[in-house]
Structure 1
Amino acid sequence: MPPPECFNTRQPLLLAPEWLMLPDGPHADMGVLVENGRFAQVGPLAALREAHPGLATVALPQRLLMPGLVDTHTHLTQSFGKALAFGEPSEIFRRIWVPMEATLDENAAYLSAKLASLESLRGGFTTVVDAGTRSHVGLEAVASAARDTGIRCVLGMICNDGGLEGDEAAARRILDDAATFLARLEHDPLVHPSLAISIPEAASDHMLRAVAALTLESGRRFQTHVNEHLAAVERSLVARGLRPLEVLHACGALNASALLAHATLLTPREIGLLRDSGAAVAYNPVASQWKGNAVLDAGLLAMLGVPFGLGTDGTRADGLRLMDAAEATQRLTQGLANGDSSCGGGWLWLDHATQGGADAAGVGAMTGRIAEGLAADFLIVDLDVPEFAPSWDLGWELVRFANRDQIEAVFVNGALRLWKGWPLDWDARALMREVREVARRDVRRAPIQRVHPVSDRHRAQQLACART
């Protein structure tokens, strides 16, 4: 592997990997020309060399050049408390995330988002979709953290108006702020604006409809969590007489701009509404494993043509393990009962972690694929490891065998953001030292309520019970 100074993208860069991951799978003897932050040319290596005789080729033997991964659902200002959610049941947002995020000041929100962005880049994500921070001062902090780490971010501005019934002026201010937010970031190269409502019950029908209309008109994403937990479905039925996804449909908010997180508890009618709406889904398999009541049948979404991507929900920012979790969860919940040993054939999860995820996130016109004219968001992956020797099926091997430590370089917009897991242009270890100090302070003062004890205490409790 050439040293990092060979990847100076301030000038045209001709890369010759052993394998190039294109939308239809891996190809050998191909090259890419990166120029001005984009893939200027993609094609047979011999033709690219002939077209650019004065340009040195950066050879990448036993390396794969592949699109950066897309996390279609995360929470960047929750990184301080990520290990506090282990073993916790269902709706931890009420007992952990809302209290913790509300405690963050602007600097803490920035540090949390910067730490989460670093973790995401280390895990191979070049794009993350943030569902919106509950920190009252955190929105600009998240945007700054994304720019400073160099990650592409679809950033949600929360537009909840629950509790403001009858206050038309307040609702109008929310919508005015939303329109301003969309306009202000319209041409930002890394931070792409989105509007969000935490869950449908957190907003009036009018706000849901208006926010979805704003995003549809502007070509942006409307984010919300739907049908994630039994408790949420039951609350919606009691309050509205409709399930959460049905609420969106009834008030006109279920449209092609919607990106629905989780959607794990869907009736046949809701699946039909989803299919006909053009809305996209963020499939969060690790969240389902750790705290969910159900698992989304992603294979069914694929068959119906519903756009979907893979999301972490802030659980762990490792894109390769996320693909493995997606395939394994589908196999355990659907494939075992049906005798389906393929469950997507490997390629399904790779596609929806890259190009399908970019489409679901609303950024498919700029990233998610190695293609001419798109942003040069890509990974260089080391294939010279025991897990890939011998290699017979690179697509499946990436889903089931690949490790984060194989990602040698991460590029976003043509710029080298990480080299062997660490940034070259800022001090990540200084960030970690500051995070440890600030996080201890903020978690200690936040009114967090945990149900499950930490693991050592849980062990002691179990041993004490066994003795009695």
Structure 2
Amino acid sequence: MVSRTELNPEMFDAQRLLLTPEYLIQSHESVSNHAVVIEDGYFSDVGPAENLLARYPDAVHIDLPGFALMPGFIDAHHHLTQSFGKALAFGEPSEIFKRVWVPLEGNLDSELMYLSGKLAALESLRGGFTTVVDAGVRTEGNLEPIAKAVTEAGIRCVLGMICTDKGEDPSSAQNKTLKQAENHLDEWANHNLIHPSLAISIPEAASDEMIYAVSNLCREADVVFQTHVNEHLASVERSLIQRGLRPLEHLHSIKALGPQTLVAHATLVTPKEISILQESGTAVAYNPVASQWKGNATAPALYMHEQGIRLGLGTDATRSDGFRLIDAAEATQRLSYGHQTGDFSSGGGWPWLDQATASGAEAISLGKLTGEIKKGKVADFLLVDVDTPEFQPSRDLVWELTRFGNRDQIVGVFIAGDLRLWEGWPVDWDGKALMREVSQRTSEAIEKAPIQKIHPHSNKHRILFEERKRD
């Protein structure tokens, strides 16, 4: 029997590894007395521990009492180049992309893009994410700095390239952008960690012809087409004024929806638009923390789930903590909808863990590769210490993970069978050195950008509060 203190990263460096955790999160349930065999980055076998121990006598066997082995979390919607400005969003009105993100990202050079992306990747790994979906960068230049950052960090990434033709001659812009899009899809088609994607930041940022062409390219390549829709009241109103249709209705009218499409947010949706999502097979990235922090609505994710709409959970670059994300996913639904109807279970616990793992992988078109502890799938997984007071006594581990799980319980983060993080820090690169470099460069990036904040720093807010009290 191995104690927590006896475990060390070197133990997991073996050509064929056989792990016997106390609990295995498999097929949306917790099972005991099961084992996994990991070879060449994949789960080569999964099943009853007794059978696998007999079948693989030469494998390096590590017994893990007090641990759960579970799929890594999948962040279905992230902005990797926003990590420098994440605290700038606090207390801001809804459409902060115009006043914070576009100015900030537009002033990042290649080195700052790389540092921002690697910092975001480190945060994601610390939060138990083994895959992140980047929605694209609002700045000139190629995506090599982001690709370099996530590859060095060792995290799996769906790398979005933003495609637009507004502000230029339509025909030449479309030809140029679509050629770049095809090159992006080809360049990353066979990478072991990076999976290409195309994106339109918001529907009004491109012509109908461009949106359809990009969505169709993704459909043909079996990759994800990303866009933000129905996120805020202002975006819905703009679409109604410009096109006479709500954003989702508009995308549907130009045949840009489908199984290849992942729409972020979809917080303000009508019954008609929910039917459109259902009938088209379009997936939704549900971003509960974004709704709590900076949105003006909550997506009806539980209703979407009941209607068979494909869902993944996204952070929207708010807080890269997988356990707090699934807790927020459940709590936000309960507060927004469950309280009004007396729905005390609000899904029964399991949908949110599912959407952060297996269903999330399917929503981002990687379901055949990752998201489950299953034979033949890539070994993206977490070792979680459940030998803690929060999990004693344990009666419903899946729901307990949703409500009691904490980032500090994640001991090991594995991607493609490789140990990437141990007890919160990278095993083969210096996370602390990255933080020091970021600290030195962040002020430069923010001060050069024409950022407009509406609400003051919390210290200033307190001073103003005290002054009002004195008056």
TM-score of the superposed pair, with normalisation by structure 2: 0.98
Q: Give yes or no for contact 1:105–1:138 (8 Å, CA) kept in 2.
A: no
Q: Deviation per CA, 1:299-354, whole angstroms, max 9, x where unpaired?
A: 11111111001000000000100000000000001101111110111111111110
Q: Which residue of 445, 457, 462 maps to 2:460?
A: 457
Match of 1:99 in 2: 103
Q: Partners in 1 of 2:28 and 2:333 — Cα distance?
A: 22
Aligned twin of 2:364: 361
List alignment gaps of at least 5 residues for structure 2. none
The 1-side partners of 2:49 and 2:20 are apart by: 7
Aligned 8 A contact 1:109 1:138 in 2: no
Which residue, out of 18, 21, 39, partners 1:17?
Answer: 21
The one of 85, 89, 100 equivalent to 2:89 is 85
CA apart distance, 1:437: 1.1
- 1:57 alignment partner, one of 57, 61, 67: 61
> Is residue 2:191 matched to residue 1:226?
no
CA distance in 1, matches of 2:104, 2:117: 14
> Alpha-carbon deviation of 1:56?
3.3
Matches within 5 A, 1:85-164: 85-137=89-141, 139-164=143-168
Counterparts of 1:192 and 1:377, CA distance in 2: 15
User: Greater CA deviation, 77-86 or 267-276?
Assistant: 267-276
Q: Is 1:7 aligned with 2:7?
A: no
Map 1:403-422 → 2, pairs under 5 A: 403-422=406-425
**Structure 1 residues 137, 438: CA separation in 2 closer, same or farther (over 3 Å shift)?**
farther
Deviations 1:191-219 (A, max 9, x none): 00000000000000000000000000100
Choose from 27, 34, 38 the match for 2:31: 27
Counterparts of 2:362 and 2:56, CA distance in 1: 32
Tell me the amino acid that sits aligned with residue 141 of structure 1: P
Tell me the SS of whatever aligns to 1:90: coil
1:445 aligns to what?
448
Q: CA deviation at 1:139?
A: 1.3
Q: Specify the SS of the correspondent of 2:47.
A: strand
Does the 8 A contact of 1:124 with 1:318 survive in 2? yes
1:326 counterpart SS class: helix
Which of 307, 316, 322 pairs up with 2:310? Answer: 307
Q: How does 1:314-353 map to 2 (within 5 A)?
A: 314-353=317-356
Identity of counterpart residues, as a percentage?
A: 57
Match of 1:255 in 2: 258
Equivalent pair of 1:62/1:383 in contact (CA under 8 Å): yes
Distance 2:140 2:43 in 1: 38
8 Å Cα contact 2:118/2:149 also seen in 1: yes
The alpha-carbon deviation at position 466 of structure 1 amounts to: 2.0
Q: How far apart are the structure 2 equivalents of 1:136 and 1:436?
A: 24
In structure 2, the partner of 1:172 is 175
SS at 1:381's partner residue?
strand
CA distance in 2, matches of 1:449, 1:138: 26
> Corresponding residue for 1:387?
390
Correspondence for 2:41: 37
2:257 touches 2:280 (CA, 8 Å); kept in 1? yes
Q: In 2, distance between residues paired with 1:426 and 1:314?
A: 23
Q: Match of 1:92, as an amino acid?
A: I
Which segment drifts farther, 384-393 or 204-213?
384-393
In 2, Cα distance between the equivalents of 1:268 and 1:41? 44
Distance 1:88 1:43 in 2: 49
- Normalised by the size of structure 1, how large is the TM-score? 0.99
Does structure 1 retain, via aligned residues, the 8 Å contact 2:77–2:132?
yes
Inter-partner Cα distance in structure 1 for 2:341 and 2:236 = 27
Aligned-partner residue type, residue 12 of structure 2 = F
Measure how far apart 1:467 and its partner are: 1.8
- Deviation string, structure 1 residues 438-464 (Cα, Å, up to 9, x no partner): 111110111000001010100111111
Distance in 2 separating the partners of 1:177 and 1:3: 45
* 3-state DSSP of counterpart to 1:418: strand
> Equivalents in 2 of 1:265, 1:133: separation in Å?
25
After superposition, the CA RMSD in angstroms is 0.8
- Counterpart CA distance in 2 for 1:13 and 1:397 is 28
State the Cα distance separating 1:55 from its structure 2 match. 2.3
CA-CA distance at 1:138 after TM superposition: 5.3
* Deviation, structure 1 residue 137: 2.7
Helix, strand or coil at the partner of 2:426? coil
The alignment covers a number of residue pairs equal to: 466
Which of structure 1's runs of 4+ aligned residues deviate more than 4 A?
Answer: none
